[in-house]
Each structure stands twice: as structure tokens, then as C-alpha cells.
Amino acid sequence: MPTEYPVATRDPRLHDAPLLIAARGEHPEVTPVWFMRQAGRSLPEYRKVREGIAMLDSCRRPDLVTEITLQPVRRYGVDAAIFFSDIVVPLKAVGVGLDIKPGVGPVIEQPFRTRADLDRIPELDAGMITDITESVRLLTAELGATPLIGFAGAPFTLASYLVEGGPSRDLGKTKALMYSDPQLWNDLLNRLAQISGEFLRVQVAAGASAVQLFDSWVGALPLADYTRFVRPASSKVLAAVRDLDPTVPRIHFGVQTGELLHAMGEAGADVVGVDFRVPLDEAVTRIGPGRAVQGNLDPALLFAPRDVLRRRVGETLTAGRFASGHIFNLGHGVPPDTDPDQVKYVVDAVHGWKFADYQ
């Protein structure tokens, strides 16, 4: 049974925050914008506070989590903060041996191979992550009328790190387990659904206003395998949030998910994140009515001349008008070598855009 929590009282001004208006399927006066990986290595102030502190240690220190989460909000004036953490933090919290290696990503000490490995992944209990509760409380107090987006990794993407042992290009071992032992695969995904669901519930209970479930690598699967082997577990995670607080919008995102967009919405998302490979208006059609979209400027455009960048921002905003709500974002994360002034330029272009001038 999931833990029952009292949900924190939120700042009443959040009701009118553009991000939450768009997530509800309406069009606020100005399109809201935030960026995946808006915190992190592209910011000199981030590099400074992280000096000499390992990634996973920084994620467990409320003072650092608060500072790093707020840095892009201060610098860019984005419409939301995203909680500074990592998708593997809850796995580490339940005792899985892993580390985040600089320049590589998550590395697992003993990759998942057999049923016996399931015993090394216990369920997550709120008591194991009291620091997360504290960080979210500190943050929401500072953020006031700006929403905080909580997040977690979806079961498939978490499983891919556990099975592969680290970042992988083709996810061969993950797919081999899925096809050869569907029962063990299901048990693993259900365990991970409990962990992700609880990680999100803790953030929502402490005051997060929206959540994003990252299924970054699920685009490696064809639709039929996604709906059979993955979606039931993702649905459980999204339902765990809805059951705690149905007013908190759930964003669901993955890379190379052009063929999966509709199905990912059906998993129980209010907003579907779109990567840069599918034109946004086409994505709106694929997702279908009744869900907002988030996306989808190609991160590579942050390295383009400003006239090109501005035109593409405008095209993305114009396509977003056809959606039931649009949250502007990149099609994936901010690259570490991005010039922060280019990011600021995009925020200002989105906020200053006058649709009437371009019709």
C-alpha cells in the first residue's frame, strides 16, 4: 500500500501560473517556458557550487538542491523550476549500489540479471528520503508563485540502467530480458513503478505543483512492445500521483517517441513531452485532443545565429497554438556547452512573442 500523506498547502497564486494554466489545457496570455536540464553544467554558478562535491551527494543536501534548483529561475526568469536530483536517486535510496560518473552518467555496480537481483531492489518508503521532503519544502517557500516540477524516471528507463549497467546505445540486454523472461521483466517494472510513484508522491506531498515522468529511452521500442511491456507500469506511476492529488498535472516525456506519442498520453498524462524529431503540429495530431503538449525546439538551435533561433522559436510557438495547451521547452536537455545567454534569449523571445504580429 502506498503511504498516505497530508499534501502541503500551496501558494494560492500558483493557480494562475502560466505553466499550470497551459497544463490544464488552456492558453495563458504568454506561453510558459522552462528547459529540461536548465540547471547543470551550462551554468558557471552551478559549476562553482558543485566543485569537489559528487553528483549524488549534492542531490541529498537540501542547501545545495535548493540553490542549484533556483539558479536557472533567477538567471532566466523561466516559468518553472525543476527539482535538482537525478532519476537514479531513489534507486540509491533503497540501497542499489550505483554511482554517477562525471561525463558518463549512472553506473550500476551489479547489473540486474536474474530473479535473485530483485531482492536487492526493495520498495521505497518516504522515511528513506526525508531530505527530499525538506528540499521541496525549502524550495516551494522560496519559489512562491513559480511552480516547482517534481520528477522521476519511468520504470523502463530505470530498468535500462539497471540491466545494461550504465548508459547504452541499443538497450540490447534490456530488450533481451523483456523478450526472454516477461514474468521477471514485469516484476522488475512493477517494483520500479512503486519506487518512482513513491518518489513523485513525496515531492507532491511536500509541495511540488506538477510532475514530469521521464521515459527518456523508451523510443527504442516499437509501439506494440511499448503498450504490452511498458505502459502498464508507467500508468501505475502516473496513477499514484493522481490518487494523491488529482489537481497536479502529469507531464510524460521520452526521446525518439514519435511512434509512441498517443500511447504515452494514454498512459495517463495530462501533458505529453515531444522531442525535436516530430514537428509540433504533427505531434498534436498524433497525441489527439484533450492533452497539452510540451516542446520541442531542437537543442542544437541554441548554437544557431539569433535570427535563425528566433524564427524557429516563433514556428514552435505558432504550432503550439493548435494544441490544447502548450508549454515551450527544448526537444531534449540543454547541452552542457550551451552559452547561457542563448538560453536567456529564447526565454525572452517566448515571453515577448506577439502572435497577432505574425498572423
Binding site for ligand 1CP (CB under 6 A): 36-41, 55, 82, 84, 86-87, 100, 102, 105-106, 151, 157, 167, 214, 216, 333
Name the minimum Å distance from CB 82 to ligand 1CP: 5
**Which residues touch 346 (CB under 8 Å, ≥6 apart)?**
33, 297, 302, 309, 313
Cell numbers given for 340: 547561457
Which residue number, 100 or 287, has a Cβ lying nearer to ligand 1CP?
A: 100
Considering the candidates 11, 86, 117, 281, report the single residue annotated as catalytic: 86
Q: Which of 46, 76, 79, 161 is catalytic?
A: 161
> 151 or 276: whose CB is closer to ligand 1CP?
151
Of the candidates 50, 191, 231, 291, the residue annotated as catalytic is 50
Cβ nearer to ligand 1CP, comparing 167 with 182:
167
Question: In the complex with ligand 1CP, which residue's Cβ is closer, 213 or 313?
Answer: 213
**According to the annotation, is 46 in a ligand binding site?**
no
Whether residue 39 is annotated as binding a ligand: the answer is yes
Q: Which is nearer to ligand 1CP, 99 or 348 (CB)?
A: 99
76 a catalytic residue: no
Q: In terms of CB distance, is 56 or 285 closer to ligand 1CP?
A: 56
DSSP-assigned letters across all residues of 74-131: HHH--S-EE----TTHHHHHTT--EEEETTTEEEESS---SGGGGGGSPPP-GGGGHH
| All residues at 6 or more sequence positions from 313 whose CB lies less than 8 Å from its CB, including other chains | 297, 328, 346, 349, 350, 353
Known binding residue 16? Answer is no
| Residue 273 and residue 216 in contact, taking contact as beta carbons nearer than 8 Å | no
**Phi and psi dihedrals of 33, rounded to 5?**
-140, 135
The type of residue at 193 is A
Q: Is residue 38 marked as binding? A: yes
By beta-carbon distance, which residue lies closest to ligand 1CP?
105
50 is catalytic: yes
125 annotated as a binding-site residue: no
- Which alpha helices (H) appear in 172-251, and where do they start and end? 172-180, 182-206, 223-225, 231-244
3-state DSSP assignment of residue 153: strand
86 annotated to a ligand binding site: yes
Q: Which residues contact 248 (CB under 8 A, 6 or more apart)?
A: 204, 208, 209, 210, 211, 241, 242
Q: Tell me the closest approach of the beta carbon of residue 331 to ligand 1CP, in angstroms.
A: 11
- The one-letter amino acid code at 82 reads I
- Cell readout for 194 is 512503486
CB of 74 to ligand 1CP, least distance (A): 13
Taking a C-beta distance cutoff of 8 angstroms, is the pair 109, 121 a contact? no
* Shortest spacing between CB 285 and ligand 1CP, in angstroms: 24
Between CA 198 and CA 207 the distance in angstroms is 14
Active-site residue, from 10, 24, 41, 321: 41
Instruction: Report the nearest approach of ligand 1CP to the CB of residue 224 (Å).
Output: 24
Residue 222 C-beta: closest distance to ligand 1CP, Å: 20
Instruction: Look up 86 and say whether it is catalytic.
Output: yes
Q: Is 326 annotated as a binding residue?
A: no
Handedness of CA 39, 138, 327, 293 (dihedral sign): positive
Query: Is 46 annotated as catalytic?
Result: no
Which is the catalytic residue, given 10, 24, 37, 137?
A: 37
Task: State the catalytic residues.
Answer: 37, 41, 50, 86, 161
List residues forming the annotated binding site for substrate. 37-41, 86, 161, 216, 332
Residue set of the binding site: 37-41, 86, 161, 216, 332
